[in-house]
Structure 1
Amino acid sequence: MNTEQTELLVLGAGPGGYTAAFRAADLGKRVTLVERYPVLGGVCLNVGCIPSKALLHIARVIAEVGELGEHGIDLGIDLQNIHPDARSIHAFSESVVKKLTDGLAKMAEQRGVAVVQGTARFSSPHSVTVEHNDESHDISFDQAIIAAGARATTLPELILKPDHDDPRIMDSTGALALDAIPEKLLVVGGGIIGLEMATIYDAFGSRVSVVEMQDQLMPGVDSDLVRPLLKRIKPRYEAIHLNTTITAVEMTRNTLSVSFDGDKAPASDDFDAMLIAIGRQPNGDRIAADRAGVRVDERGFIPVDDQMRSNIPHIFAIGDINGEPLLAHKASHEGKVAAEVACGEKSGFEDRVIPALAYTDPEVAWAGLTETAAKQQGIDYDKGVFPWAASGRALGLGRDEGMTKILFDKQTQCVLGIGMTGPHAGDLIAEGVLAIEMGADARDLALTIHPHPTLSETIGFAAEAFEGTITDLYLPRRNK
């Protein structure tokens, strides 16, 4: 068995892993990057964030074509009878992915990062064994950064009868392959991933049903932010079942017969395919961390400090594997911190806020304190809300269902949290994130001159609504 040696080993080449590897190499470390895929980028770039957003772009264009009819433009297209070429659509998303993976490969080469394909497991506190194509070799290291990510959670095998590997039952990776467009699709899980995939398949002609075990879509997000999305999709989708679970899936040659347990759900229904999107679980249990002495908790997460160190000081853990939220932008920032600390820099992960968003239609984005959490924690807050029905830009887009909401500390008037629903909410949320990071207050936002007419000015308007200075709405005067 061959043995290699490196100063810094990075396990996993997703957004956190490749960021850590590249930053450490820039700081002078000799770096080896181990990745199970034949290309860099991990789940996010190859079978997650990037291809899904390419498909969501197509879905949005299809929706916009339909909306033109409401404004006097008839293109003569029957959107109820479209025939997506799944192979060509998949080729488009693959072309987007390839441009990015080719770029990562080039940057790894430019930086002198050694890339090794395979699945790595620890064999000691200073070595891993990498397996690929029935061959294995050891890599010893001085320091290591674990960026092994997470995997999709599956339904219990007892629910799936009789074939747990039926190709009609997909996770998000399988759904993005677009092997076929099912006539009738059940999305299990009304969170971000499930609803994004529902958006895609609805646009491509599937009759979509969604089942969610909690009492609202996107559990944990303020209900007023979710409401505009629900209002838009409820008439489009065949069914949305809340407070409902699946008790069994009976697989026949022609259909998947699904049994439900919920007050308003049917006892059973038949579908052509199912998408399972009930969450993700970390891969801490798949890397033999115990052989290195690294502590993994009962959920599969590796606890770390603010320098991303595990309980073994020379081994770091970043991204999905070290705890929630499981977001690519969190992983990349943590990757830089871990790399800098490994190289002797004074660095730490001191985030005040991490934004989250759903690329649904409309988009839903939020950052910082939610109103739900503020009430639960007894935090003394006030809010400014601006409905997009009063936004000239939103009206011009024919999309007035959105809203912008900002939470402020009642005493200091500093921004505590922000939420937005509407087109491009994910692009707009960054201003709110910066406001929280910089300790901005309502006046800072209200006195910032936003271009008109834009969706971004709804942030300034929400701050004015809180202050009582807004002129684009009539709000009864209140004592502050």
Structure 2
Amino acid sequence: MSPPPPSKVQVLVLGAGPGGYVAAIRAGQLGLDTVLVEADRLGGTCLIRGCIPSKALIHAAGEFEALRRAQGANPLGLRITGEIGVDFAQTVRWKEGIVDRLSDGVAGLLRRAKVRVVRGWGVFSDARTCEVTRADGVSEVIEAEHVILAAGSEPAAVPALPFGGDVLSSTEALSLPALPKTLAVVGAGYIGLELGMAFAALGVKVTVVEALSRILPQYDPGLSAPIVRALERAGIDVHLDARATGFEAGRLAVERTQGEALQIPAEKVLVTVGRRPRTQGWGLEQMAVDLDGPFVKVDDRCHTSMRNVWAIGDLVGEPMLAHKASAQGEMVAEIIAGRRRRFDPVAIPAVCFTTPEVVSVGAWPEPGPEVITAVFPLAANGRALSQEAGDDAGFIRVAARADDHRILAFAAVGRHVSELSGEMTALLEMGAVLEDAAGLIHAHPTQSEMIGEAALRALGHAIHV
């Protein structure tokens, strides 16, 4: 019996993460016959085992920390008597409920856009032919006029610490059946510190090991300094200039740059040294597209070197952020539909959800006479103080050109400051000047007032500091 003929579609999207499913939905909305291929659950790393579940865990940890503070002397006058505890299995079930709800929501959105979802592992035999094998072994061959590659990324491993058993990636850490007593985090980037601080708030003894000389190396030292103090307050030990060399019998072996050797007790080890694009196992080598180092090379429309083959998200390079992938996916779908688009954002916001949070929007300029900068402290904001967010040495800062006051960048550290990233990004994208930000009437009391206050201070006439 001869195999069935290939299915022919206008658009095939590989990967149902925040880039792929957005591309598929937008293509469907535009009337394109679209197929989305995904072997895992809908939503990708961000929704299933990254952004969303980690933020759920961080929230649960914050709630538990608040309960612990209420056991002792509390400036709010709140008191809890008796014991408190964590049913971590229930915490994980609650987190999974959120993930299920959002994943089901993605499925509904795809159905509404008339996108056909093919569940299975897709492998390309050439640039536009993909064989998808389902879990039951049945295969389907799909030929597409356009292919959008959205395969995403995966955790990078440390050769001395292969994943498995008690050596975890963030995926396993977010689904542990119970809290460990001790946890070693290898890597002091945003993923390691977000999860490390959350586990510490839940009562786990956490130790962080970082090969570089400071934490959060993607941010400047001014932004990471309040996090250093927060780690100290949380009782988290941090070893800098230190490399993990092995793990055995509940002890992580560490070598310091100065030659000192350490043995760190750890029931579990969480490795968070970064992510790498997922380029293996789905036939990329058969597609004849050019690479840029480990990434797929694309132009400012996310078009690869192969005609009608597009790539988006983590597959095409930094910043490896879900919202970048979504923006690229929407853009590519519109280009395929005949619209003129290119990917040239003024700024892509980055947020580290530690406690306190860190926000960076735009590239912070080098100091000099051609730049104006100003800082406004959270301690001078009424809303921050009323939320106990003014005591973390947090601040918001702005940079602008000295000649025409065009805003170049924002940055902030503090509790809840992630919610300011939208307005910061909008001001940069709209080409706003300091006078624009200073002239906005912000609701009082809100933390958003600090954006205007920082702009006023840069202009030399701050009101509340």
**Is TM (by shorter chain) over 0.5?**
yes
Q: Deviations over 1:220-255 (max 9, x none)?
A: 212111111211221323411122211x21322xx1
Displacement of 1:263: 4.0
Partner of 1:351, secondary structure, is coil
* Partner Cα distance (2:259, 2:203) in 1: 25
Q: CA deviation at 1:266?
A: 5.2
Q: What is residue 270 of structure 2 aligned with on the other side?
A: 275
Residue 32 of structure 1 aligns with an amino acid whose one-letter code is V
Corresponding position of 1:306: 300
Q: Structure 1's 45 and 342: CA in aligned 2 closer, same or farther, altered over 3 A? A: same
Q: Any gaps of 5 or more consecutive residues in structure 1?
A: 474-480
Residue 238 of structure 2 aligns to a residue in which SS?
Answer: strand
The 8 Å contact of residues 15 and 151 in structure 2, kept in 1 or not, is answered as yes
Q: 1:236 aligns with which of 234, 237, 260?
A: 234
Match of 2:328 in 1: 334
Aligned to 1:106: 108
Q: In 2 relative to 1, CA 411–147 (structure 1 residues): closer, same or farther, beyond 3 Å?
A: same
Matched residue, 1:251: 248
Which secondary structure state, in structure 2, belongs to the residue aligned with residue 185 of structure 1? strand
User: Which residue of structure 1 lines up, in the alignment, with residue 399 of structure 2?
Assistant: 407
Answer yes or no: is the 8 Å Cα contact 2:152–2:314 preserved in 1: yes
Which of 200, 213, 216 is the matching residue for 1:215? 213
Deviation at 1:131, TM superposition (A): 2.6
TM-score, normalised relative to structure 1: 0.91
AA aligned to 2:287 is A
SS in 2 for 1:70: coil
C-alpha distance in 1 between matches for 2:111 and 2:356: 40
State the identity as a percent.
34
Q: Does 1:143 align with 2:168?
A: no
Tell me, yes or no, if structure 1 residue 70 matches structure 2 residue 64: no
Q: Is the 8 A contact 2:152 2:278 kept in 1?
A: yes
Deviation of 1:146 after TM superposition, in Å, equals 0.3
Query: 1:153-205 CA distances to partner (integer Å, 9 max, x unpaired)?
Result: 0111xx24xxx454211000000002221111001111111111112211221
Partners of 1:77 and 1:263 in 2: how far apart?
47
> What is aligned with 2:56?
54
| Partners of 1:289 and 1:295 within 8 A in 2 | no
Question: Do the aligned residues in 1 keep the contact of 2:231 with 2:237 (CA within 8 Å)?
Answer: no
1:90 is the counterpart of 2:99: no
SS of corresponding position for 2:291: coil
CA distance in 2, matches of 1:4, 1:209: 53
Partner in structure 2 of residue 460 of structure 1: 452
Name which of structure 1's ranges 168-177 and 110-119 shifts more when overlaid on structure 2.
Answer: 110-119
Task: Give me the whole-angstrom Cα distance separating, in 1, the residues matched to 2:443 and 2:272.
Answer: 39
Cα deviation digits, residues 89-110 of structure 1 (max 9, x gap): 1110111111111111112122
Tell me which residue corresponds to 1:446: 438
Q: 1:165 to 1:414 in 2, by over 3 A?
A: closer
CA root-mean-square deviation: 1.8
Structure 2 counterpart SS, 1:284: coil
Is the CA contact (8 Å cut-off) linking 2:298 and 2:311 kept in structure 1?
Answer: yes
TM-score of the two chains, using structure 2 as the length reference: 0.94
1:389 equivalent to 2:387? Answer no
Given that 2:208 and 2:237 are in contact with CA atoms closer than 8 Å, whether structure 1 keeps it comes out as: yes
Structure 1 residues 195 and 250: CA distance shift in structure 2, 3 A: closer
- The yes-or-no answer on 1:350 pairing with 2:356 is no
1:205 aligned to which of 200, 203, 225? 203
Contact kept, 8 Å, 1:446 with 1:464, in 2: the verdict is yes
Give the letter for the 1:15 counterpart.
P
SS in 2 for 1:32: strand
Matched, 1:261 2:256: yes
Q: Would the aligned equivalents of 2:189 and 2:218 in 1 still touch at CA under 8 Å? A: no
Q: Distance in 2 between matches of 1:110 and 1:45?
A: 20
Q: Conserved in 2, the CA contact under 8 Å of 1:369 and 1:407?
A: no
Give the SS at the match of 1:237: coil
Q: Which stretch shows the higher mean deviation, 289-298 or 168-177?
A: 289-298
The corresponding residue for 1:361 is 355
Q: Name the CA shift for 1:273/1:234 in 2 (closer, same or farther; >3 Å).
A: same
Relative to structure 1, the CA distance from residue 40 to residue 70 in structure 2 (aligned partners, 3 Å threshold; closer, same or farther) is same
Contact 1:380 1:410 in 2 (8 A): yes
Go from structure 1 to structure 2 and tell me whether the alpha carbon gap of 1:135 and 1:260 turns closer, same or farther (over 3 Å shift). Answer: farther
